[in-house]
Amino acid sequence: MAVSDLLDGPIANEAHGTALLELAFAVSAVDGHLADEEQAAFRELVSRVRGKTATDDDVGELLEQFVYSAHTVGLDERVRRVLPSIPAELRETAFSVAFGLSLVDREENEYEGELLEDVAKALGIDDARANVLRDDVRRKLSIGG
């Protein structure tokens, strides 16, 4: 299964979809880089969110926008600003997708873990539920923890 398969299909509201993508980007990039595998998975994710095949320009524009925003106010602050744009019905999905994208490089690190804890709290996902979601994502992506 791919990270993009954690989504049922396209997200009709473009702002909601962009917020989910930016959150996923932030969690996977908090360690300072996007591995090739993460970039490929991000492209698939953009395609799934938008409901059409993402072009190099589509992905490049999003990454440029997200990197600029993160550098302008800092990654943690940017995440805090994006989270309110994620509606209640997408919160668990957004958390799962962000966690899934962070696992694509098969390296879990403390920065991603800390940010994910903050994200879960901000989205109203308690620790027990966050652990269930993480385990589910690991199982679906066949990535041990």
pLDDT score at 50:
97
- As a whole number of angstroms, the distance between CA 41 and CA 4 comes to 7
Planar angle of CA 59, 60, 63, nearest 5 degrees: 85
pLDDT score at 145:
54
Domain of residue 86 covers 3-141
pLDDT score at 144:
63
Residues 49/9, Cβ–Cβ less than 8 Å: no
Chunked into runs of 10 residues, the chain (145 residues) has average pLDDT values of 93 97 92 82 97 96 94 91 96 96 80 89 96 95 75
Alpha-carbon distance values, 33 to 88, 105, 123, 128 (Å): 29, 11, 25, 29
Nearest one of 61, 42, 17, 15 to 102, comparing CA atoms? 42
Place of tokens 């360690």: 31
Residues 26/82, Cβ–Cβ less than 8 Å: yes
0.85 surpassed by pTM: yes
- As a whole number of angstroms, the distance between CA 71 and CA 111 comes to 17
Indicate the number of domains in the chain.
1
Residues 60/104, Cβ–Cβ less than 8 Å: no
CATH number at residue 85: 1.10.3680.10
